[in-house]
Amino acid sequence: MRIRIVDAFTDRPFAGNPAGVLLLDALPDGTWAFPDDRWLQRVATEVNHAETAFAHRLPEGGGADWALRWFTPATEVNLCGHATLATAHVLHSTGAHPGQVRFATRSGVLVATPEADGSLTLDFPTAPLTEVEVPDGIAKTLGTRPLAAFDTGPNVGDLLVVLDDEKTVHALAPDHRALGAHSARGIIATAEAEDPSRGYDFVSRCFFPNVGIAEDPVTGSAHTALAPYWSGRLGRPRLTGLQASPRSGRVGTELRGERTLLSGRAVTVIDGELHARPDQAVGSQSTLPASSA
């Protein structure tokens, strides 16, 4: 089977967020299904990027075109923006599915649309934000006290914290182990852009210790929570976010009520063959960690 590594939310290699993408073959009888979960998890662990996406075709005439699942090196997750963008990029660039594609996922049907400028737009559910008390101890964990905190709902599963300014976000050096106590997946830290003339309206960094990711380079799902917060603060439905990780990347957002559009580009960096097929024994060398998202 062909396996690809795609850098998402960037227009150049070695930036943005890398994702593994595996388009699964049909079964011998011509039908389509996901292999054993243990095999999927072990492939994702071997790829060792923030997410690996697995997709297979669905019968024509239904509500979606491809089934899609996402695994971190440690567990399956409910929603992943950059690996969805990466999968849509592979489908579009290889001709496997030109035009708009509908993915059946744990978070419902997600739509990816190629644009004339070469970018892709994802249609995702907007995360429901609920303001909560700033948790005790998080100031020590982050190294700074947030101005406000928000629960982002079950699909995203993060605590969104608003910080004083962009410099504070860039300077964060959190205690990653302690961060895991504050939410199901992790922490989104954000602040308003210091100078919007640089081409972005807000900055963020994302730390996901509970799914085996110390810092995620560029997180599409987090922007389904960042978009409603910053659109409400800044009074504009269309914004651009800079995720200020070492690899960095930009995500265009457009708030449409219960849906959020995320836009970006992607680049295939590696295109190779996976020789460990699903019909080979998975073995029992270790016990896989339980899902936490």
* Catalytic (active-site) positions: 51
The DSSP output letter for 278 is: T
> Exposed/middle/buried for 212, CB within 10 Å: 0-12, 13-18, 19+?
middle
Name the pairing type of β-strands 238-243 and 2-8. unpaired
Q: Compute the distance between CA of residue 202 and CA of residue 219 in angstroms, rounded to an integer.
A: 14
Cα 56 off chain centre by: 19
Q: Is 261 within 8 Å of 253 (Cβ atoms)?
A: yes
SS3 content of the chain, % helix, strand, coil (to 5): 20, 35, 40
- The token pair that represents 37 in the structure block: 């979960």
> Exposed/middle/buried for 106, CB within 10 Å: 0-12, 13-18, 19+?
middle
Q: Which residues pair with 160 in a beta bridge?
A: 150, 188
- The token pair that represents 64 in the structure block: 């979606």
Q: Compute the distance between CA of residue 225 and CA of residue 232 in angstroms, rounded to an integer.
A: 11
